[in-house]
Amino acid sequence: MTSETAHLIQCLQQIHKVIGKANEILAGVSNPSVCSEVLLSKPGTAYMLGLFEVYRVSKRLEEGVKTRQPASELLRHTLREVDLAWNNLLSFLAFGHPLLQMLLLESSVESSTHLSGPNPALSQVCGVCLMEVRRESEVPTGNSDSVIYQGSCYHVSCANFWLNCVDSTLPRQK
């Protein structure tokens, strides 16, 4: 297994763990109205938006795998596990609040939209997800911003997830 494959699997396993923990928490709430109240609170909504960003990192990883290398069986399995956990989590959001409905819509659109793959002539590749990181002038502000650290480029959300949930040292592209 290459070091790239190992770091992708490690990151996806942590994404699965984070989304799985959210599923456990929400499944532990026995009353649907309490679950709704929690999710619609300001901290609950912020938590769900954070989880959505974690899922977006997994989709970038998936696209990075498709464009860079043949996927190992373990990598394909881990990607399926993340998608299953995410789809289970979406069932908690189906009760109709506009913000949560937006997450449902964006999630389905993003998973059906092909993200652009790496193009070294136009940009650098994120050291975490292996996808294109556009130059600052081409990137709108927000979670798609990029950061350069020790000569390697990263999507902010990819680097943030890696540093907070995977390892204290960012992976570097060779």
Tens digit of pLDDT for each residue in 115-141?
Answer: 444 444 446 889 999 898 875 544 444
- Stated as kind and residue range, the H or E segment containing 153 is strand 152-155
84 pLDDT band, cuts 50/70/90, is very high
Q: DSSP alpha helices (H): ranges in the chain?
A: 3-27, 32-40, 42-68, 73-90, 98-112, 156-161
Query: Which sequence spans correspond to the domains of the chain?
Result: 3-112, 124-166
167: nearest Cα among 5, 1, 13: 13
% pLDDT > 70, the chain: 74
34 pLDDT band, cuts 50/70/90, is confident
pLDDT at res. 122: 47
Cβ(9)–Cβ(75) below 8 Å: yes
Q: Read off the tokens for 26.
A: 């929400």
Beta strands 132-133 and 124-125, pairing class = antiparallel
pTM given for the model: 0.81
Residues 6 or more apart whose CB falls under 8 angstroms from that of 9 comprise 1, 72, 74, 75, 78
Tens digit of pLDDT for each residue in 39-68?
Answer: 888 898 889 889 999 999 999 999 988 887
How far is residue 166's CA from residue 110's CA, in Å, rounded to a whole number? 24
Burial of residue 114, with CB atoms counted within 10 A of its CB: 0-12 exposed, 13-18 middle, 19 or more buried:
exposed
Q: Read off the tokens for 77.
A: 């399995």
Residue 99 or residue 37, greater confidence? 37
- Stated as kind and residue range, the H or E segment containing 119 is none
Give the count of beta carbons closer than 10 Å to the beta carbon of residue 92: 20
